[in-house]
Amino acid sequence: MKETPSRNLRPGVHRRLFGHLPDGRAVEAVTLVNAQGVSATVIAHGATLQSMIVPDREGKLADVTLGHATLAEYLGSTAYFGSSVGRVANRIAGGRFLLDGTEYRVPANNGPNALHGGPEGFDKALWDIVETGDTPAPFVRLAHTSPDGDQGFPGTLQVTAKYALGDDGALAITYRATTDRPTIVNMTNHAYWNLAGEGAATGAMDHELTIPAEHFLPTDDTAIPTGDFAPVTGTPFDFREARAIGARVRDTTHDQIRIGHGYDHNWVVDRSRSATPRLLARLAHPASGRVLEVLSTEPGVQFYSGNFLDGSLVGKRRQAYRMGDGVALEPQMFPDTPNRPAFGSIRLGAGEEYCHRIVFAFSGEG
């Protein structure tokens, strides 16, 4: 099923069929539209942000997030375009961790490590659309139950994802979870961005990035943090002032750029969670004037420069996605936290609630 344009929809919430899974279950798409014509489309498969249409400095609308036009393409993709990922985003070393003295093993789906909740993580699930509305802003809330032992994780986890689109053009995502026994949770959204417009010939390497972090987490050659909090000063990882991504993305004189084939690292904006979303990253496209600010209640942001997009995946405008055609900015707790006590904790106990709030705030500059 091809994508239905959402640029001419009236403000509010619009539901439609997006496709069917191989077992016949229907997958819906929900498009949220604000009074300015900004829209966000979420599909129930993976609670996935499929489209984000925002204006440039002259009011011209464009879809700025990478993704697919059909459900079949999402089912065949491993890129996590716009997906809600969990139970645990990023990597767990060796696919194993200790929780309350018990060792658990989860499937290794990224070399020797577990990535984004395993091969059948939340991004592969068909979520239930449990609520939509337009007060105070257009929103959709989705829910998913992850049973005890799912992908090796303990406890039955009840998860919700709420997307709400404000009249200011900000898309707010709230992930909540509860469990019936201790488990670990670290969710994020895995949107890829190209503020020139999805499928633009220039890619995203001319975007200017700011990350207000004095440290980043270097990794070994399997992308697991070494445990060090490395200063960004004097390195290609210093984005405290806005810098073009492409200026240093291939600076292989720095071993971390060589190991990651570009940027695929976590920046340490703080050492603990925040009660309210704070700025983790600012992405700007000088040619169009589009700006994206990423705010979150989590302390880290994984910046991935699209290093492994190799032309094998086709986007909504039928262009093949190539290296650097989009970048991901994933707010989260730090990778491999269950095995790194110095990183903090992602333990969730019975009777507790996990809550991660993300804001993707769009604006224009002259």
Known catalytic residues are: 190, 330
User: How far, in Å, CA of 322 to CA of 326, rounded?
Assistant: 9
Structure tokens at 150: 């799912």
b/e string for 88-101 if b means 16 or more Cβ within 10 A?
Answer: bbbbbbbbbbebee
Residue 36 main-chain phi, psi, to 5 deg: -95, 0
Report helix, strand or coil for 113: strand
Contact 47, 161 (CB under 8 A): yes
Residue from 180, 146, 184, 177 nearest 162 by CA? 177
Q: How far is CA 186 from CA 127, 268, 341, in A?
A: 18, 16, 15
- Residue 198 burial (C-beta neighbours within 10 Å; 0-12, 13-18, 19+): buried
**Sheet harboring 26-33: ordered strands across?**
12-20, 26-33, 39-43, 48-55, 61-63
Q: Virtual CA dihedral for 266, 271, 273, 275, nearest 10 degrees?
A: -130
H/E run at residue 296: strand 290-296
Integer angstrom CA distances of residue 226 from 137, 217, 310, 348: 43, 7, 28, 25
CA 238 to chain centre: 22
